[in-house]
């Protein structure tokens, strides 16, 4: 190798290193999520990393964001249950994307917001889907039991979630306070649900065909293992499926529910919303269904722009809670 080639190679390496060093700070800014991004930036008080219960040594936490309200005034609260297939995700999702927009607007409308952590039904764990629901119900019970000190109106509790979190939100809304009991220290909590919104959440696990978006002959029930858990016997299978299916709790006395679903969603097909609507029509339950055209899971556009837009989805979500609060008898 001659000297000219060595000099050329050294120059290229040094130039590359200099360029990398020059851009490194910007790249770090893009890839490293700042600590504050885990939480909503608000004009009101925040109580962060609040432990609502312990399971063994594991602490389950929630964050509580308050609107800018008059001192001593109790707030209605929207509990947020995140998606992630019951096996992934976290409550910090509330501070990002469309969720942050929804919750900032709800804070402006006088609602408190409470994103919740729950145990995840990961493979080979002892956690099943019912445990995810029970944890979130215990979060609601915690807010209700401590409503005086927290400044929360236990008679005006709302829920919102997406995907698996949309399913959990439906369960929190429709199942009574006594159903799916959890922490004994929270069992005495009394509360009333005001309204709930489910973004692309499933309504029924017994009818597994609802998940078969294109009616394939070789369709496989992929959520079953998360429902049954490791301790479920064959005779308990139907009971477990029924227990975590929101449709079985829907009645004319249910609090109002808004289901927003994409018509091109292959993860949680739009069949779930139509199925729930049929039950609501038969029982005169207060259900509103909003179908988003060209929308896959997470409002991902399929073939064309989604219609109505994401902004309209956000507006209707916020408006639904505001309307229910306005119609709530004192």
Q: What are phi and psi of 80, to 5 degrees?
A: -105, 125
Identify the DSSP state of 146.
Answer: T
Residue 281 domain-assigned (yes or no): yes
CA–CA separation, 170 and 317 (whole Å): 14
Residue 10 domain-assigned (yes or no): no
What is the pairing mode between strands 112-116 and 287-292?
Answer: unpaired
Which strand (E) or helix (H) includes residue 108? helix 97-108
Residue 4 domain-assigned (yes or no): no
Residue 9 domain-assigned (yes or no): no
Residue 12 domain-assigned (yes or no): no
pTM of the model: 0.87
Total number of domains in the chain: 1
Domain that holds residue 118: 36-326
What is the pairing mode between strands 257-262 and 58-65?
Answer: unpaired
Q: How distant is the alpha carbon of residue 281 from its chain centre?
A: 26
Among 119, 129, 124, which Cα is nearest to 90's? 119
CA–CA separation, 31 and 46 (whole Å): 26
Residue 7 domain-assigned (yes or no): no
Cα 151 to Cα 45, 46, 101, 155, distances in angstroms: 11, 12, 23, 12
CA–CA separation, 303 and 98 (whole Å): 21
Residue 27 domain-assigned (yes or no): no
What strands lie across the sheet with 112-116, from one edge to the other?
46-55, 58-65, 112-116, 75-81, 152-162, 193-199, 257-262, 287-292
Residue 28 domain-assigned (yes or no): no
Reported as a single tens digit per residue, the pLDDT across 83-120 is 999 999 999 999 999 999 999 999 999 999 999 999 99
138-169 burial: b if 16+ Cβ within 10 Å, else e: bbbbbbbbbbeebbbbbbbbbbbbbbbbbbbb
- Number of other CB atoms surrounding residue 284 within 10 Å: 10
CA–CA separation, 250 and 279 (whole Å): 8
- Sign for the pseudo-dihedral over CA of 265, 270, 276, 281: positive
Reported as a single tens digit per residue, the pLDDT across 266-320 is 999 999 999 999 999 999 999 999 999 999 999 999 999 999 999 999 999 999 9
Please, which residues have CB within 8 angstroms of residue 14's CB and are 6 or more apart in sequence? none
Which strand (E) or helix (H) includes residue 76? strand 75-81
Residue 269 belongs to domain with CATH number: 3.40.50.1820
- Sign for the pseudo-dihedral over CA of 132, 256, 161, 29: negative
Which strand (E) or helix (H) includes residue 63? strand 58-65
Among 246, 269, 245, 262, which Cα is nearest to 296's? 262
Among 40, 43, 44, which Cα is nearest to 151's? 44
- Sign for the pseudo-dihedral over CA of 123, 204, 292, 267: positive
Please, which residues have CB within 8 angstroms of residue 58's CB and are 6 or more apart in sequence? 119
Cis peptide before 249 (omega within 30 of 0): no
Low-confidence residues of the chain, pLDDT below 50?
A: 1-36
């Amino acid at each position: 190798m001659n000297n000219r080639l060595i000099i050329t190679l050294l120059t290229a390496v040094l130039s590359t290193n200099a360029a990398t060093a020059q851009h490194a700070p910007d790249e770090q800014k893009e890839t490293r999520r700042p600590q504050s991004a885990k939480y909503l930036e608000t004009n009101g008080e925040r109580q962060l990393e609040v432990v609502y219960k312990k399971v063994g040594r594991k602490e389950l936490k929630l964050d509580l964001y308050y609107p800018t309200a008059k001192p001593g005034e109790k707030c209605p609260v929207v509990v947020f249950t995140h998606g992630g297939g019951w096996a992934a995700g976290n409550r910090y999702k509330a501070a990002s994307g469309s969720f942050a927009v929804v919750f900032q607007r709800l804070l402006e409308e006088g609602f408190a917001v409470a994103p919740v952590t729950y145990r995840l039904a990961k493979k080979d764990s002892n956690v099943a889907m019912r445990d995810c629901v029970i944890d979130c119900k215990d979060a609601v019970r915690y807010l209700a039991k401590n409503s005086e000190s927290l400044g929360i109106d236990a008679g005006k509790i709302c829920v919102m979630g997406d995907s698996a979190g949309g399913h959990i939100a439906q369960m929190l809304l429709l199942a009574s306070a006594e159903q799916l009991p959890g922490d004994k220290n929270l069992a005495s909590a009394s509360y009333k649900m005001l309204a709930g919104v489910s973004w692309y959440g499933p309504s029924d696990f017994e009818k597994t065909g609802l998940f078969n978006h294109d009616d394939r002959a070789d369709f496989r029930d992929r959520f079953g293992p998360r429902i049954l858990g490791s301790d479920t016997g064959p005779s308990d299978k139907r009971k477990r499926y029924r227990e975590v299916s929101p449709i079985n709790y829907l009645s004319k006395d249910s609090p109002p529910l808004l289901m927003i679903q994409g018509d091109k969603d292959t993860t949680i097909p739009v069949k779930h919303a139509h199925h729930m609507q049929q039950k609501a029509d038969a029982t005169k339950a207060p259900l509103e269904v909003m179908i988003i055209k060209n929308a896959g899971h997470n409002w991902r556009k399929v073939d064309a722009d989604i219609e109505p837009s994401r902004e309209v989805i956000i507006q209707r979500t916020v408006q639904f809670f505001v309307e229910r609060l306005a119609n709530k008898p004192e």
